[in-house]
Amino acid sequence: MKNISILGATGSIGTQTLDVIRKSSGTINLVAVSANSSVNKIIDIIEEFSPKYVAMMDKKAYKEIKEYCTNNQKSINVYSGIDGLIKVASLDEIDTVVTSVVGMIGLKPTIAAIEAKKDIALANKETLVVAGEIVMKKAKENGVKILPVDSEHSAIFQSLSGYCNKDIHKIILTASGGPFRGKNIDDLKDVTVHQALKHPKWNMGQKISIDSATLMNKGLEVIEAHYLFECSYDNIEVVVHPQSIIHSMVEYKDASIIEKIGSPDMRLPIQYALNYPERKGMIAKPLNFYEVGSLTFEKPDLDTFKCLKFAYDAGKIGGLAPTILNGANEEAVALLLEEKIKFLQIAEIIEECMNTFDYNKEVTLHNVINLDKEVRQYIYEKYN
Ligand code: MG
C-alpha cells in the first residue's frame, strides 16, 4: 500500500486524485491533505477518506476545520498556513506527495517533501518553472523520483521509457490551442473572462484555464519539459493539436516518433504517476478511433499568443527570467479574473516585467522568492 499526501486536495487535480484513490482497491491510502479555504470540501474528504492530517492555508478555514474535528470527535492533526503545507508534505509515514496546488506557493512544500525523501507526483508546474534547477538537483541528491502528472509530460515520460536520452532528437509538446485558437489580436481585444475560461477540451481550474487561453500554459510546460527531461529549448517544439488525443511525442534521432495517445482524462496520468512503474486498471474511457475521426496539427501563432514566445525567451535566457515570467503571469491572471485588466494585457504586463526586472542573479531559493515578491508588488501597486 502506498501512503500519499495531496497538496491542494480540493482543486481540479486534487479532486481527480481522490477518484484515483477511490478506484485503487485500497492500494493507495490518503494520509494527509491540504487546501486553501474550501472547508466544506475538506469536511467531505475527512468523512470519506479519514486522513490523519489536514492543513488549511487560510486561518479562518483552519479554525473551522479544527472546530469541526473537536465537535465530531475526530482525532486529526490540523495545521495552518505555509508551515502547515510544509508539515503535510514531509510527514514520516508518507511515500508520495501529489503537488497539485496552483502557483509558486507550491515551491517551499515541494522542496520540503524532496528533502524528506518523498517521491513527488508533480502537478504544480510553476514550481519547476521558477526553480527547476534547484528542484531537480535536490531530487537527484535525495534519490527522489519526480513523476510528472501534467498530461503532456506524463506522455513524454512514457514515450521515453525503454529508450536512451542520448537518442532523443526532440520533444514535441501538443497543445489544444485553447478557446481562442484561430483568432488574431483584433479578435481578442474585447474578449471576456467568461470566454477565456471556456476550454474546449479539458475541464480545469481557473488559473490553468486562463493560461490555456493565452497559451502561457504551454509556455510553462516548455520550461517544465526542459528541466524534467534535460532537453534544450531548441529541441522542444509545440504543435497545436485541437483534438487533444495525442498527449505529446518524442522524436528520436532516426526520425521515429513515439507518442502517447488516449482519452483526454487527467485521471490517467495521475494513476500512472501514483503507481509507477506499475500500470493499473482502466480508469478512463477507452479511445474509440472511429469517434475521434481525424487528427489535425497546426503551428502555434506566436504573434497573437505572445505568452508562449515570452516563455521560450525566458527559458532561453535562464537564470531568474522564468521567475519574473511566472510571477507576472500569476498576478496578471488574478487581475483578469477580478476583471481589473483585459485579456491582452496579460501579455503586456509580462513583457513589461521582463523588461523591468533584473534576472542576472544567481538562482538560489532566496533570490527566487524575493524577486517573485518584488514582481508581484510592482504589478499590485500599478493595477490595484
Ligand atoms: Mg498540461
- DSSP string of 2-42, one letter each residue: EEEEEESTTSHHHHHHHHHHHTTTTSEEEEEEEESS-HHHH
Task: State yes or no: pLDDT of 98 exceeds 80.
Answer: yes
Distance 148 CA to ligand 1 centre (A): 10
Q: Is 97 helix (H, G, I), strand (E, B) or coil?
A: strand
**80: confidence class by pLDDT, cuts 50, 70, 90:** very high
Distance 161 CA to ligand 1 centre (A): 19
Distance 152 CA to ligand 1 centre (A): 5
pLDDT in tens, 351-372: 999 999 999 999 999 999 999 9
| Global confidence as pTM | 0.96
pLDDT in tens, 118-157: 999 999 999 999 999 999 999 999 999 999 999 999 999 9
Task: State yes or no: pLDDT of 307 exceeds 80.
Answer: yes
Distance 221 CA to ligand 1 centre (A): 7
Task: State the average pLDDT over residues 277-296.
Answer: 94
Distance 150 CA to ligand 1 centre (A): 5
Task: State yes or no: pLDDT of 203 exceeds 80.
Answer: no
Task: State the average pLDDT over residues 99-126.
Answer: 96
Task: State yes or no: pLDDT of 202 exceeds 90.
Answer: no
Task: State the average pLDDT over residues 227-236.
Answer: 96
Q: How many beta carbons lie within 10 A of that of residue 367, not counting itself?
A: 16
Note the helical H segments in 230-299.
267-275, 289-292
Task: State yes or no: pLDDT of 259 exceeds 80.
Answer: yes
Would you state the pLDDT for residue 163? 80
Task: State the average pLDDT over residues 76-103.
Answer: 97
